[in-house]
A = this chain, B = another copy of it.
Amino acid sequence: MEQNKIPQATAKRLPLYYRFLNNLQIQGKTRVSSKELSEAVKVDSATIRRDFSYFGALGKKGYGYNVEYLLGFFRKTLDQDELTDVALIGVGNLGTAFLNYNFTKNNNTKIVCAFDADPNKSGTEIGGVPIYHIDELEERLGNVKVAILTIPAMEADRITERLVSKGVKGILNFTPARISVPDDVRVHHIDLAIELQALVYFLKHYPLEMKEEIL
């Protein structure tokens, strides 16, 4: 693939930049500096310039970046024109929230089908997404390569194995289980309980000094 040399830390920030640039364009702004971007997305301006520089010289010295050009560039880079289909497994509290939320608003991903073990849920739909019984996973999944996991932790390993057998290559895992996958499958863990605990830990153990604010 094109540029394997883009640091992961940079890649993770790209969608953030894209979203903000999109907002700028809607607001009718035509140019933006790394400093302005920095204040908006809370990333150091040098880091932003460095991030952009991996893709070549996108800006102009003394001017900044042209919003339309930059946006167009990122649209291609982030494949914002192709829609990636996503499956959601586990239509409980979290899963229902995700189905109701329209991920496609400003986005290139779409949940196209959902699965649950509860027979009362299968056959219905939420937010326009059909819900099937988990037994139908193999036949209904089709060619979907990305899955969101919002099932009980106990079920995570078993379902993961089925997803992987069916060719899923990316999993966004909301269960506390650390699932095992082959090396060609990528898992991103989002562990909400841990995020909350870590925040509390930082508050108690890393007192931030009160610096001078603009009063």
Contact = CB atoms under 8 A, between A and B. Distances in A.
A198 B186 CA distance: 11
User: Which residue, of A109, A192, A199, has the highest number of chain B Cβ atoms within 10 A?
Assistant: A199
A185 interface: yes
Nearest to A171: B199
B192 A208 contact: no
B209 A199 contact: no
A204 B97 contact: no
B201 A186 contact: no
Given A196-B109, A203-B146, A209 B183 contact: yes
Contact of A183 (B185, B195, B202, B208): B208
Interface SS majority for chain A: mixed
A11 to B, nearest CB: 6
Interface in A158-209: 169-170, 172, 176, 178, 180, 182-186, 188, 190-209
Contact of A4 (B11, B105, B176, B205): B205
A15 B194 contact: yes
Contact of A203 (B2, B145, B148, B190): B145
Nearest to A190: B195
A197 B96 contact: no
Nearest to A82: B204
A172 B199 contact: yes
Interface of A: 1-4, 6, 8, 11-12, 14-16, 18-19, 40-42, 78-79, 84, 86, 93-94, 96-98, 100-101, 103, 105-109, 145-146, 148, 169-170, 172, 176, 178, 180, 182-186, 188, 190-211, 213
The 10 A-B pairs of least Cβ separation, nearest first, read A93-B97, A15-B197, A183-B211, A184-B210, A15-B194, A97-B97, A170-B203, A93-B100, A42-B178, A184-B208
